[in-house]
């Protein structure tokens, strides 16, 4: 599909009109051009194509989830552009190593999100589950860098493959980054620890995603392409929703845990715009972050996973 033939509205046929209208209103109220930004971010992905859900689908939920996933991609793209922009700016409040770490993590996230989107549309669950787990780890990793400046400095100091692997083993693997984030969230009054419905759901989901890393007769014996019973994991569809939630959380919690990030994004938004998409995205990052948090709040309020509401901040 050629970019000049892509229609934003046509890409999300079947989505809730209220969700589309609300999102367009959020963008318009901040003076942002949603369709132009979407075209040059989501529309420029290497694996881009529109979703093609069955016409007999009697619910907007699948397309709504796909739409919110694409909106989250725009936020990650804007954060990556902001990290690129910081190199030419003075007086930023975050440590340079923290911004460099965000630049590296968001670059990897964009490649992974491109792949997950393509795998979702192709209904290839196993690689989708593998990448979804990796995205979740990277979201925790990014938040950990915002919380601990020295951790970001150690990350950017790695110069060899051996050093990078050692850094991962000592500071990230085994849920270490998640524990850093959970402990800090607890300090500010948010329960993201080991107890509660949300923690149980998150742990169970990551365990399911982890089964895709190795060949398993359990997975082989399940019905190919069939949705499981209500409340159980539905492979590619739930991968997409899980990834969207994790990105929404990454955005929301980054603002809670590190006010310097918000201040830097607002500082970037006041810079004189220069030609080129990356800088225009960077300048919009603060506003796109606000929109992403609003999507997260609405998702939490709907409680799509049947949780008890512990995700509300």
* Residue pLDDT, tens place only, 184-213: 888 887 766 555 677 777 788 888 888 887
What mean pLDDT is predicted for residues 32-54?
91
Check whether 312 has a pLDDT greater than 70: no
Decide: 112 and 132 in contact? Cβ < 8 Å. Answer: no
The predicted pLDDT at position 117 comes to 96
Least confident of 118-132, 229-243, 250-264: 229-243
What mean pLDDT is predicted for residues 32-38?
95
The predicted pLDDT at position 108 comes to 97
Least confident of 29-33, 247-251, 290-294, 304-308: 304-308
Decide: 15 and 63 in contact? Cβ < 8 Å. Answer: yes
Check whether 228 has a pLDDT greater than 50: no
Least confident of 27-31, 161-165, 256-260: 256-260
Quote the percentage of the chain above a pLDDT of 70.
83
């Amino acid at each position: 599909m050629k970019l000049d033939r892509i229609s934003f509205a046509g890409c999300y046929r079947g989505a809730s009109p209220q969700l589309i209208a609300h999102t367009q209103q959020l963008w318009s109220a901040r003076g942002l051009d949603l369709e132009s930004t979407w075209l040059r971010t989501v529309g420029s992905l290497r694996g881009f194509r529109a979703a093609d859900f069955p016409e007999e689908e009697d619910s907007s939920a699948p397309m709504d989830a796909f739409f919110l996933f694409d909106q989250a991609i725009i936020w990650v793209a804007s954060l990556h552009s902001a990290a690129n922009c910081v190199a030419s700016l003075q007086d930023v409040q975050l440590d340079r190593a923290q911004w460099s770490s965000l630049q590296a993590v968001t670059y990897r996230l964009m490649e992974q999100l491109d792949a997950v989107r393509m795998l979702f549309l192709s209904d290839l669950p196993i690689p989708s589950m593998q990448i979804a787990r990796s995205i979740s780890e990277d979201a925790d990793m990014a938040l950990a860098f915002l919380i601990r400046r020295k951790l970001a400095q150690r990350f950017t100091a790695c110069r060899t493959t051996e050093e990078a692997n050692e850094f991962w083993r000592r500071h990230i693997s085994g849920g270490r980054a998640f524990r850093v984030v959970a402990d800090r969230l607890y300090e500010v009054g948010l329960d993201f620890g080991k107890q509660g419905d949300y923690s149980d759901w998150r742990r169970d989901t990551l365990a399911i995603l982890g089964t895709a890393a190795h060949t398993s007769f359990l997975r082989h014996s399940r019905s190919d392409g069939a949705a499981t019973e209500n409340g159980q994991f539905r492979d590619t569809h739930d991968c997409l929703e899980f990834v969207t939630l994790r990105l929404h959380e990454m955005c929301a919690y980054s603002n809670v845990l590190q006010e310097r990030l918000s201040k830097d994004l607002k500082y970037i938004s006041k810079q004189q715009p220069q030609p080129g998409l990356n800088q225009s995205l960077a300048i919009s990052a603060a506003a796109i972050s606000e929109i992403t948090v609003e999507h997260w709040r609405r998702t939490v309020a709907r409680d799509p996973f049947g949780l008890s509401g512990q995700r509300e901040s």
